[in-house]
A = this chain, B = another copy of it.
Amino acid sequence: VKKSRLETAETRKKIVETASRLFRRDGIHATGLAEIMTEAGLTHGGFYRHFESKDQLVAEAVGAGCESLSEVIDAVTKGETGKRAVKAIIENYLGTKHRDGAANGCAFASMACELARADDTTRSVTSEAFVALVDAIAAHMPRKKPEVATSDAIFMVSAMIGALTMSRVVNDAKLSASILHAAKEHLAER
């Protein structure tokens, strides 16, 4: 049954968003196309009307996940400037809500080790998103020299990704909280 152009575009968007959520929740490798299509309310046979391969969907879904992170950061810093904006980002990123909600959280933290082994297109998308995130944060450090702001933002982003990831890995609630707490404390200092 053919669908209108509007419906087709909406279906495609829904597949990408569903995939983005499931990849972040369960990992790229562990999420099958059939599961994504079912979750999107479709049968898996129609997948190839929208995408050439799973790899293409991965690239788009990772991109969508990164965009949603940028939107969250914009929302969190709304009205704040400088140090207060940076602090808001840190508190939000390293909060237990983010730790426990990987499905809607940072794509880097939930998929980093799979992304390191992904194809070139996906890695390019990821690299650009990383730079965009760093730039967005560096923009909240207007009193620093640009190179210093960029370097500080690069470190802040990598450190937050590492801390969030490890807080999800460890099996011990207290240790998990310590990891988040230590990172918040050390990053807020500067």
Contact = CB atoms under 8 A, between A and B. Distances in A.
B165 A112 contact: yes
A127 B159 contact: no
A9 interface: no
A160 B162 CA distance: 7
B126 A169 contact: yes
A170 B130 contact: yes
A13 B182 CA distance: 37
A8 interface: no
Interface string A102-134: 100000111111111100100110110011000
Given A131-B175, A186-B155, A108 B166 contact: yes
A108 B158 contact: no
Interface stretch (A23-31, A42-50, A75-83, A84-92): A23-31
Contact of A116 (B131, B154, B160, B169): B169
Contacts of A160: 162
Contact of A29 (B27, B170, B181, B183): B27
Interface string A31-69: 000000000000000000000000000000000000000
Given A113-B112, A116-B168, A175 B27 contact: no
A185 to B, nearest CB: 7
A179 interface: yes
A127 B127 CA distance: 29
A163 interface: yes
Given A29-B29, A112-B112, A175-B130, A161 B155 contact: no
Contacts of A179: 154, 158
Contacts of A154: 178-179, 182
